[in-house]
Amino acid sequence: MTEPTYDLVIRGGTLANASDRFEADLAISGESIAAVGRDLPAGRREIDARGKLVLPGGIDSHCHIEQLSAAGMMNADTWESATVSAAHGGTTTVIAFAAQHVGMNLTQVVEDYAGLARKGAVVDYAFHMIVADPTEATVREHLPPLIRAGHASVKVFMTYDRLKVDDEPLLDVLVTARENRALVCVHAENHGMISWMGKRLVQRGYTAPKFHAVSHPRLAESEAFNRLVAMAALLDQPVMIFHVSTAEGAAAVRRARGDGLKVFAETCPQYLLMTAQDLDRPGLEGAKWMCSPPQRAERDQEALWRALALGDLQTVSSDHAPYAFDETGKLRAGTSPNFKQIANGMPGLEWRLPLLFDAMVSKGRLGVEKFVELTATAPARIYNLKGKGSLAIGADADVAIWDPQERVTLTDAAVHDRAGYTPYAGRTVQGWPVTVLRRGEAIVADGSLRATPGSGRFLPRTGGAAAEPAGRLEPEMDPARNFGAVLL
């Protein structure tokens, strides 16, 4: 008897990458894709994928997992619970945040966080490093070796009292990133506008969760985007703008990219599928829908969909930030908090892909190729996740097999994270990942988890193309455009 050629053959499905889709078999040997073609030889195991879509496993490049907030609150998820929920939703790689707070040693922060991930992760993972205390030691001593160790992206906040990095220290972070070929990711909102609005709303008795949306003026987003873009242009440093929520923000990104600047940007399902009206609920119920920036208006949804279609926005992440709706999370300040005392963030890691599949593929908004591009291929390329994001020979065998006809109604009881609720409860989606493979191993099949905690693998990253400056800065450059170049 002839020995099987491959470990696994996924047979008869419709494969899709970011550029095309086609009917073929996909063969896996060990942890990698070994062949793509019709009528491939037998495998030791086979999966019948006729009538199914065979897609790359999803990459969620922005999720908060087992993370301590600046207020000292641990979010609801462990690495195990968060990545179990990711796997059930078709996501096989995540990038989460090793979060420094004021007074913390960034090297120790990353080391401690890596220990938590090694213990619990069931999908592959990498880290962004949050820098909230950009001291000389952090920026000049700790960041460079951490970047060289494979943590090639840094996140900074331009708002939040305990996290914000002002313009001058932000420039210091951008310079260090440039010198070490790291990408800088930014939560960009104008802190003064938000703080000023929030204080006055509370003083006047406007304290319900729905006023959280009012407290984040839409101009706070576009102003901060423009300021960030100017700083990045001064130093010729690539940046990723997180969670674009407004039409004005999308327009600012489009202008920057049209000017040839290396600006990347993402949005999230909550900005594509929700509006500020979702926060307008009885009592404190609207707290479940609070996130920052807040959801906006229907015209912003349409602007963001258009920006995705045009390529102005390159990825869609979840910004998973799970806080339980109880005294450990959203209601930590008591049973009658004002909106400023309620933790910002919503769970979304598990439902990101089903929600987007329903909108983009089942409803035909942008199609399956664009779905793959936004949720797998582009994040792999931008964040330099080698071997991830495509069904290519030699790539990691991260595969999600989707039943495009299966309809599922999302419920609180169905979630696998520990927030205890989903802001998408009651929505019915068409299209579901019925089998999920991570490096050739089925980690979800028939609705059941088959992976063990700690089986996920750390993915060291270099800066890659996304972190490559557009050109070398020279003192003789036009000082009217880039006077700061002579000071580097």
Task: Look at residue 339 and tell me if it is in a domain.
Answer: yes
- Residue 487's contacts (CB-CB under 8 Å, 6 or more residues apart) are none
Locus of tokens 């004021």: 102
Distance, CA of 278 to CA of 480 (rounded, Å):
46
Tens digit of pLDDT per residue, the chain (488 long)? Answer: 567 899 999 999 999 999 999 999 999 999 999 999 999 999 999 999 999 999 999 999 999 999 999 888 999 999 999 999 999 999 999 999 999 999 999 999 999 999 999 999 999 999 999 999 999 999 999 999 999 999 999 999 999 999 999 999 999 999 999 999 999 999 999 999 999 999 999 999 999 999 999 999 999 999 999 999 999 999 999 999 999 999 999 999 999 999 999 999 999 999 999 999 999 999 999 999 999 999 999 999 999 999 999 999 999 999 999 999 999 999 999 999 999 999 999 999 999 999 999 999 999 999 999 999 999 999 999 999 999 999 999 999 999 999 999 999 999 999 999 999 999 999 999 999 999 999 999 999 999 999 999 999 999 998 766 777 755 555 444 434 444 444 55
pTM to 2 decimals? 0.96
Task: Look at residue 171 and tell me if it is in a domain.
Answer: yes
Q: What is the number of H-type helices and E-type strands within the chain? A: 15, 17
Task: Look at residue 316 and tell me if it is in a domain.
Answer: yes
- Residue 204's contacts (CB-CB under 8 Å, 6 or more residues apart) are none
Locus of tokens 């557009």: 470
The first and second tokens of residue 177, run together, are 């990133």
- Helices within 40-163 (DSSP H only): 79-88, 106-120, 136, 143-148
Task: Look at residue 29 and tell me if it is in a domain.
Answer: no
Separation in Å, CA 400 to CA 17, 86, 360, 410, 464: 12, 12, 16, 19, 26
Task: Look at residue 444 and tell me if it is in a domain.
Answer: no
The first and second tokens of residue 424, run together, are 């998408």
Structural domain count of the chain: 1
| pLDDT for the residue 488 | 58
Neighbouring CB atoms inside 10 A of 372's CB total 28
| pLDDT for the residue 352 | 98
| pLDDT for the residue 466 | 76
- Which residue, 284, 427, 405, 278, is CA-closest to 350? 427
CATH code of the domain containing 354: 3.20.20.140
**Whole domain around residue 269: which residue ranges?**
58-375+462-467
Task: Look at residue 292 and tell me if it is in a domain.
Answer: yes
Task: Look at residue 12 and tell me if it is in a domain.
Answer: no
Task: Look at residue 184 and tell me if it is in a domain.
Answer: yes
Q: Which amino acid is at 102?
A: V
| pLDDT for the residue 328 | 94
